[in-house]
């Protein structure tokens, strides 16, 4: 199930690469929640870390994420794993993939 939050980017951490080849990058987003703003840490993994390249602190964003949970040595951990980032009011998102092909690239003489 996907969740969304909207807020301002507080910081973007450097990419971390582990011995297994696993890569992650974390971002903190400040979400206004009544009297006490919440600082929410989200992680982006593998190819999704590039979504953070075009962002900067202070920028208003909407992040779509999944909640991931796991057990390790009898303790339970939760992560918010981001997979889409959009500017506030922008439903397309940043760096979601290559742009669609130009219509001039197609042959108009298709027989069907």
Q: How confident is the model at residue 90 (pLDDT cuts 50, 70, 90)?
A: low
- To which residue do tokens 């199930």 refer? 1
Q: How much is the average pLDDT of 2-29?
A: 95
Backbone angles phi, psi at 75, to 5 degrees: -110, 150
Rounded to whole angstroms, the Cα distance separating 84 from 55 reads 12
Domain extent listing, the chain? 3-91
Backbone angles phi, psi at 46, to 5 degrees: 50, -125
State residue 87's pLDDT score: 84
Evaluate if residue 7 carries a pLDDT over 50: yes
Is 41 within 8 Å of 7 (Cβ atoms)? no
DSSP state of 112: -
DSSP state of 15: P
Q: Is the pTM of this model over 0.85?
A: no
State residue 53's pLDDT score: 92
Q: pLDDT tens digit string along 36-87?
A: 999 999 999 999 999 999 999 999 999 999 999 999 999 999 999 999 999 8
DSSP state of 2: -
State residue 33's pLDDT score: 85
- The domain 3-91 having CATH identifier 1.10.3720.10: the answer here is no
């Amino acid at each position: 199930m996907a969740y969304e939050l909207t807020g301002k980017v507080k910081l973007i951490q450097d990419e971390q690469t582990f011995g297994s080849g696993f890569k992650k990058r974390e971002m903190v987003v400040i979400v206004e929640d009544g009297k006490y703003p919440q600082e929410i840490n989200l992680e982006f993994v593998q190819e999704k870390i590039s979504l953070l390249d075009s962002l900067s602190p202070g920028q208003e964003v909407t992040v779509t994420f999944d909640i991931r949970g796991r057990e390790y040595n009898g303790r339970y951990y939760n992560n918010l794993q981001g997979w889409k980032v959009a500017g506030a009011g922008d439903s397309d998102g940043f760096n979601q993939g290559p742009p669609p092909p130009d219509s001039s690239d197609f042959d108009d003489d298709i027989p069907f």
